[in-house]
Structure 1
């Protein structure tokens, strides 16, 4: 049956029917895939879909993470400059405390205080925020304990009694720990 059989055209209405064709006239192109091959192909397709979904999710996470990192980078871009200015701000605070004690030359005192306030306001507009420490519970993540002293009252035990150097946040990120005295 390897050879093709031909029937006369009048019997087939002009169709050339081969022996490889089934009775209904549709051609039998290939052997049907075995069920195990179909299962294997479906498993591979499912695996490919799963890989695609995971890759898309991973890319989406990457995109979100880099966008967040970029925002954080812009928020803390001037961190080095601001950290360097913190010493100047500390000096300004000490000078202001001394100026307020003296009564000499009120006009120059007022001018100097205006400059100090302008410095503070400019740094605050860039995201700098002073840490409140006095009277707060001692937290080693926020404060550096310089020393411990006997607490003046029972309520101040384990709390910050005095602040030697202020701590600061830049856009809600700690950039300098406060140096404090703790009551024991």
Structure 2
């Protein structure tokens, strides 16, 4: 081989090596482009998923706000009309009271007036009892701070010590919950 041939063969070898290096670089570049494309696709997929989750979250939050508003509105309506049934039932008692008042003005028969007033009171008690109102029985019972409010104490003898001697104002349960404590006088 001549010097020129050797030089040409060396150049070809370098060219082949350069091509190999360029091919490797091109392949690596292609691989990087492919990896970059795959990463971009993955990023876009994740962005779409995040956007979908954000949308679901916003819809859920809006739905919950609507539920809270609707619930508050229903609660206000319920509170405003809660006494309607009781008032309707008490209107019958009011009508009877007006008739009793008219009868008192027209008659002088005391017995008849007493009977009429007693009927009105009984109807009122029965109506309230039907709605769950029940009086607290206090007289001659042991004083109980969960049911009674002591107004005063008086000397009442040994057998009435710590017991309710008198009831100043009756206490009431409404469906087994105390709505008014009985005001009582306690013996000491």
Bigger share in helix: 2
Give the TM bin, normalised by the shorter chain. Answer: 0.3 to 0.5
Which structure is larger by alpha-carbon Rg, 1 or 2? Answer: 2
